[in-house]
Chains A and B, each alone.
Chain A
Amino acid sequence: MQQDRIRNFSIIAHIDHGKSTLADRILELTETVSGREMREQLLDSMDLERERGITIKAQAVRVTWKGHQLNLIDTPGHVDFTYEVSRSLQACEGAVLVVDAAQGVEAQTVANAYLAIENDLELLPVVNKIDLPQADPDKAAKELADLIGGDPRDVLRVSAKTGDGVDEILDAVIKRIPAPAGNADAPPRALIFDSSYDQYRGVVAFVRAVDGVFETRERLLAMAQGTRFEAEELGFFSPTMRAADTLVAGEVGYVITGLKDVSRLRVGDTLTSVGRPASEPLPGYKDVKPMVFAGLFPTDSDDYPDLRDALERLKLNDAALVYEPETSQALGFGFRCGFLGLLHMEIVRERLEREFDLDLLVTAPNVAYRVRTTDGAEVEVHNPAEMPAEIEQVDEPYIRASVIVPKEYVGPVMELCTERRGRFDHMEYLSEDRVVLIYELPLAEVVVDYYDQLKSRTRGYASFDYDIIGFREGDLVRLDVLIAGESVDALSLILHRGSAYGRGRALVDKLREEIPRQLFDVPVQAAIGSRVIARETIKAKRKDVLAKCYGGDITRKRKLLEKQKAGKKRMKQVGAVEVPQEAFLAVLNLDEGR
């Protein structure tokens, strides 16, 4: 296809503003699938794919509209995948920005719009769900126009549900979004904007050919990582996989690589031909590093091998997930896992629990810290227990957060952001009654309970999005918890000096409640280095006897004591102190009630 007949675009929207319904409607309208059969047909093809052992979800669908090839590229839905979103957007020349006519602009709308603008995309503003009784299309259109600096009259008004106005969107895609501008005669270059793993075919890369022509069976090279492989198959989705001999400049499609490990083909990398290599990769590749870390431990230590297998399998399809074995004296064998962000962590945890049926204990999440020690060494710390003792400086990741709220909640949001060491950047009115607040915050202050707090202080109205903006120095300390003088690795925390006292107090109080009394006094302390900042004593029991024991009840008494002993064996031993696993759980859950 000639480049001037190709259009590549995404649909971007806040969650539940109708992105998938609109995509479905486009497939139907372009007769990529027929309306009545659509659902069935898709299901059938999925079954078929399953029979063939292929489980790849289409990340880009090719449709035809009025003599043009339109490639609709899907974007991941959440902030944690900002980088992936930006790569998907880079594969496009334009984006349809959808807003719910009843809800108006939300935080993700803003974040996505900014990302699209950064990637020089042509934006087609659309107000969706105009059929809803509570819809206020004029208001939503005004917010949208204000957001992207346009005219409300240029905002399309549609109902993806009824199909009303969807054809106008497709017309506008052709009319207003520019055609790709690559050089078809240059050495081939393609941007990898997503990848997926299939157990039979290996890694499947989703690519946007920028220059030149790619051919099946050609040896290809991922320029940043240096991975080489043969293109076993090229093709595109419409809506199911269709093999093609070539992918030419401007086109979007897939490459079956036969690689067995997604981490060898990273999103953002540039593919070229080994035989006809391009001299420069496409700009913008970043090696995305995890920012949020937590220890994952099976509640039953026998499940450790299962957890290891499950992580291995998740990792096949999730290049961003990293993990390494971790041993905690308190929690046993587990893994320290790195995630892109909170949602990513939640997704992984949920999949482990649901798909792999594992019962997990997750430690309080922490962020990545960059530490300079007094002897000048620089280390990145992912686990409070690894924090060096002699610290010169600690840098922590910062985010730029945008929070959108009705104006009456500005106060509570500002209060929350201030409590979390936020720095106010600016505030804008999106409309008469809705405001976007921009704050810079340490990521560490957001990983724990921030979102829930935000929601509860705004009666659920706030929406939130963030970008990592870099590392900054923080006044950070490591808080250790000592039980009977022994430091408990799983409970160490890195936190801001200002909140150390309160946190230490809360930890110590909770442990005193949770640890059963022992045969001796047990001091519980929170300490920064050698300085104890909070202390409680779990007083020894004064009495612990089985009142009477005569001939008739020896068996029962023996069983009672044997059971007691077995109970002790199940507890985690911290020095001489037996600590029930529930105590750790309660402390790790402390944050939920902060």
Chain B
Amino acid sequence: MVGVRHLYVHLPFCAHRCGYCDFVTIVGRAGEHGRYVDALAVELDLERQSLSPCLDTVFLGGGTPTFTEPGALRRVLRLVPPADELTVEANPETVTPELAQLLREEGVMRVSLGAQSFRPHLLAILERAAGPDDVRRAFYHLRDAGFDNISLDLIYGIPGQSPADLQADIDEALALGPEHLSCYELEAKRGTRFTHAHGVELERQAEALEGYFEAVVDRLIAAGYRWYETANFCRAPSADGGRDLRSRHNLAYWLGRDYLGVGIGAVSTVRGRRWRNTPRLPVYLKALGRGDRPPREVEELAADVRRRERLILGLRLDEPFEVEEAAGAIDLAALARLERLGLVVRPSTRAGDALSLTRRGRLLGGGVTAELLA
């Protein structure tokens, strides 16, 4: 049996929990980094047989993986099996020349830097520890250490963000020349501290913010980036010596490949079954301390659910989606309607029938997908 070729490792520790964040994070407990990595090692061992001996991708996410105590971080990097792409997420204020060096030494190829914005007042609203200079400095440290595949995360739609603020953020990001950019609209999730504090302002701004996504897409395409996924851009191969700079790890999700996740709150999807590890650190540590798998929430993905997911994820990409992959999950009347509206086109491909969203279709991708679901 072919093993899983994509591995996600969750490193939950953060110096501070940002108001908008809804990931599984742990603030404080500095003394537990080592124990946590011990547990990760046990979990990896338990899952080893389902992993392919040589992986395509490994992704260390968080939390703030680079906030992990350096010794512990180094151990994690040594624990994971070799992979063609090894990405680590980093927060700018944690990236010192030493850290950059450590990552480089341990075989990290790609760093995803959580810049979010270059505007001090917006960074403050997001409760980010780094200032604009920290972001730039972190980027240079990474370059200095030899990283030639750096991704920047940007957030737009921040309360109080003017169109000029948005343009300035894009300018700053482009000035650094990252290989990859992830641009997310701020999701003010219900019940978060952030929504409580800024919900009203966001509501008020809603109409203006609607144009931001399009502005981001237009600017980045004009700057030579490929809009390969709803929220992700990479330097086009032509602009970068033919390299495919898409995130291979994330592509695995969007293409419906199996993946294994380890660490608290990590999600795995393997052969039609999805599970999520307990998000509770003590529970996780205790189980693995005993040598047991952590408690998990399991979801069996029926065939029709999998086909729907294929459609939902596949339509996020810029490449045509093979209709056969979602046979029966597509509402054909809706498809015809969306074609007439110029939101979907049906290019012919070698494999047969395929769908592609037009530019406007992609800007409305969520709504288009909801329509298309049978």
- A residues bordering B, Cβ < 8 Å? 519-520, 540-555, 557-558, 561-562, 564-565, 568, 576
Contacts and interface: CB of A to CB of B under 8 A. Distances in A.
A568 to B, nearest CB: 7
A546 B187 CA distance: 9
B150 interface: no
Contacts of A562: 308, 373
B312 A520 contact: no
A576 B230 CA distance: 25
B144 interface: no
Contacts of A553: 267
Interface string B261-287: 100011101000010100000000000
A548 B212 CA distance: 16
A546 B261 contact: no
A545 B315 CA distance: 11
Contacts of B299: 555
Interface size class of B (residues with CB under 8 A): 35 or more
Contact of A558 (B8, B261, B305, B368): B305
B313 interface: yes
A549 B308 contact: no
Contact of B184 (A547, A554, A558): A547
Given A541-B367, A565-B370, A552 B261 contact: yes
B341 A568 contact: no
B127 interface: no
A552 B230 CA distance: 17
A554 B362 CA distance: 18
A406 B259 CA distance: 82
A541 B209 CA distance: 12
19 contacts: A519-B367, A544-B363, A544-B365, A545-B230, A545-B363, A546-B230, A546-B366, A548-B184, A549-B312, A550-B250, A550-B253, A551-B269, A552-B23, A552-B261, A554-B269, A554-B312, A554-B313, A561-B370, A564-B367
Contacts of A552: 8, 23, 261, 265-267, 276
Nearest to B23: A552
B366 A545 contact: yes
Interface string B244-267: 000000100110000101000111
A546 B369 CA distance: 10
A548 B343 CA distance: 21
Contacts of B213: 542-543, 545
Nearest to B361: A519
Contacts of A561: 312, 366, 369-370, 373
A568 B338 CA distance: 15
A576 B370 CA distance: 14
Given A519-B343, A547-B185, A542 B366 contact: no
Contacts of B267: 551-555
A565 B367 CA distance: 9
* Residue from the set B250, B309, B369 with the largest chain A CB neighbour count within 10 Å: B369
B38 interface: no
Nearest to B369: A561
Given A558-B312, A576-B341, 18 more contacts: A519-B338, A519-B343, A519-B371, A520-B341, A542-B214, A543-B211, A544-B364, A544-B368, A545-B230, A545-B231, A547-B185, A551-B261, A552-B266, A555-B267, A558-B308, A562-B373, A564-B370, A565-B373
B193 interface: no
A564 B363 CA distance: 17
B255 to A, nearest CB: 12
B316 interface: yes
A426 to B, nearest CB: 56
Given A551-B259, A562-B373, A576 B337 contact: yes
A31 to B, nearest CB: 71
